[in-house]
Structure 1
């Protein structure tokens, strides 16, 4: 596939860059997180059962992984900005048409299209920030990580209130996010008129074509992202059931999971600056994995002490996610390598993460023991600690693949 010759881009003003990152970050998660709270109503409306719920739960990481693999090839053709605009137009159509579906298979296909924009945006936005952010890269990554958490949490929290009490209200609730997605489409279209085709140019010595598999940092970052995402999707989808089995009331279990997710906003604000300025990063990033393991062990050994305490421990352990996102530009020098690294870490990581809810479901069905599930998750926390420690070392992927 040939890459069109880029025209000289016009400079992007600080306000436009911030507006672009804010609008895209807020809208990368609602298409996925707005479904979970309405799952029962959606599945019942189509006359489906547990399999349909499992499919819709696993769909986001599967689509993020599968479509994410197309991000770099498509952006070579359309540019980073052009690919984000095109994918969000398709996503907006999917979000607006999905609520009108009368057949479950159509709903699933439209849901996949609705996740196309986030799937490509996940990969390309860090590279876009690396290319266009300049001296504002750390601040923009902070904004991006924080708005990811904000958008995902807001969509989940508002899903049921927006649906109201009327039958079929879930359709109106889902429709809203398609209308909201028009905002980043407009903003990024304006950005596109200034950037033109903006796929990162090769470095001065020629394109860095070495395999990312030659980079220990790239491999460790992929494993870190996969393990953290595995924990996150398992927590969102299965942890309420596990907590209920441990004697926590369903309402309390929902609050605890919300607390775990809420810490992600703090992590998104704090970690890009920590990565840029704080020494001892390997111990900090490795410590997030240990905190995950400690949180799960606390629920196993001392479930009645304070479930809220263990939820906070797990939430702080979840800082591994915004850390992995912020490390994509921090562990690369060339925006081209940032795009390639993001195109490997996130798609593969999300595909591996989709195994988490499946494995937990199998363990629950085979053993009927929530403790077994928590021991499994604690083990993934230890693996996350090892991968995080390696990623925290001050190494550049550019150098490793060139060596």
Structure 2
């Protein structure tokens, strides 16, 4: 790939397969149709195991004789699992390969999803939920690197497909949970098991992919130059902060925004619709942003604007409560384009698939850990002060910080170049 352009507002093109000496062969081995199918069936299965629990929370905790504390734990579990388990993605994939790790983890996902509704102990339900979240936690980290390694010239279309279907799968998990449960007292068990049966599809497809790829962890260059610390890279640090702040905002919106709206006199149904509108914008963001990052000029300003829009949405809810909250939901939804943007920046700001894997393994676990902390802090602040404006003021500040971090992360810099240790000084004389 050609070096980054010198103009600060110039876009960085999608990396060419020549970034890795084995990339063309690997891309040919997988094939375009199989790569599309693999990304499609995996992306649609990465979120329903997590999002399908929320709408059924009352029935689930009630069946095990639990209360609000158990519900809170289940609500925070996906973020905690994505963060903590995601840290292990790169070390595991060094041993099993990218494809092998995804395949093995989704075998465990299917087992966890099928078994957890059948157990009589809440502790076992919790443990099997962690098992069911293992595949998504590892997939979050590894899919961008897999696309970079096997996508060839289809990196941008595959990232677009991944981002869009990821949002569709999460929406389907939440939207279909109650209809799948039906009217029966134990209908929630059938609803949750449905996603376990669907998890068999990526297992079959990725087994076919594994036959073609074999062990496919990206090789390091002979000189080992790309083993430098990611902490040397200001782009990597900015991207980690950006991802963390957007995740904090997203999960705080999902968990706290309905309560904030109802405290302002909005009906519960209207509050739920408002949050759904924010989520729906994510599908459009996933469709647009990978291509924008690859081709548009002024990408840093575009990404910075998402943070400004996020802050504006909170300020609108705070200072203009008489305006229909759906207006501010649309503003927050467009600000939420920061999520597919951050996902697309991981391969766009790294040249080697190895660096892409390492960058993803740093950025996403940190982001999801922050996402678990964000709603807890917002909830504790609301309990302590009883003041919605205080919470909205805090969220406004996070939106502004998101814009600043996103601007820096989107500058046309390559993490590969920033992590190379400086050459040792030559002795004089």
Report the Cα distance in structure 2 between the residues aligned to 1:332 and 1:81, rounded to whole angstroms.
Answer: 20
2:94 equivalent to 1:76? yes
Measure how far apart 1:275 and its partner are: 0.1
Report the Cα distance in structure 1 between the residues aligned to 2:64 and 2:334, rounded to whole angstroms.
Answer: 38
Contact 1:203 1:334 (C-alpha < 8 Å) held by counterparts: no
Report the Cα distance in structure 1 between the residues aligned to 2:307 and 2:314, rounded to whole angstroms.
Answer: 11
Q: Deviations over 1:370-389 (max 9, x none)?
A: 22211111111011011011
**Which residue number in structure 1 is paired with residue 255 of structure 2?**
237
- Identify the match of residue 29 of structure 2 among 1, 11, 23: 11
**Which residue number in structure 1 is paired with residue 278 of structure 2?**
260
**Which residue number in structure 1 is paired with residue 8 of structure 2?**
none
Report the Cα distance in structure 1 between the residues aligned to 2:298 and 2:221, rounded to whole angstroms.
Answer: 30
Report the Cα distance in structure 2 between the residues aligned to 1:267 and 1:56, rounded to whole angstroms.
Answer: 28
Report the Cα distance in structure 2 between the residues aligned to 1:199 and 1:235, rounded to whole angstroms.
Answer: 36
2:387 equivalent to 1:369? yes
**Which residue number in structure 2 is paired with residue 3 of structure 1?**
none
Measure how far apart 1:206 and its partner are: 2.9
Measure how far apart 1:108 and its partner are: 0.7
2:141 equivalent to 1:108? no
**Which residue number in structure 2 is paired with residue 339 of structure 1?**
357
2:188 equivalent to 1:174? no
2:150 equivalent to 1:118? no
Q: Deviations over 1:54-76 (max 9, x none)?
A: 10111011000111010000000
Secondary structure at the residue paired with 1:208? Answer: helix
2:107 equivalent to 1:95? no
Unpaired runs of 5+ in structure 2?
A: 1-21, 423-429
Measure how far apart 1:204 and its partner are: 4.8
With normalisation by structure 1, the TM-score equals: 0.97
Secondary structure at the residue paired with 1:11? Answer: helix
Secondary structure at the residue paired with 1:47? Answer: coil
With normalisation by structure 2, the TM-score equals: 0.91
Measure how far apart 1:207 and its partner are: 5.0
Report the Cα distance in structure 1 between the residues aligned to 2:57 and 2:50, rounded to whole angstroms.
Answer: 11
Q: Deviations over 1:252-277 (max 9, x none)?
A: 11111000001000000000000001
- Identify the match of residue 44 of structure 1 among 51, 62, 78: 62
Q: Deviations over 1:13-60 (max 9, x none)?
A: 211000000011111101111111111111111111111111011101
Secondary structure at the residue paired with 1:304? Answer: coil
Measure how far apart 1:203 and its partner are: 2.4
2:43 equivalent to 1:21? no
Report the Cα distance in structure 1 between the residues aligned to 2:154 and 2:363, rounded to whole angstroms.
Answer: 23
Q: Deviations over 1:304-325 (max 9, x none)?
A: 2121110000000000000000
* Of 179-188 and 237-246, the range deviating more from structure 2: 237-246
* Larger of the two Rg values belongs to structure: 2
Report the Cα distance in structure 1 between the residues aligned to 2:339 and 2:313, rounded to whole angstroms.
Answer: 16
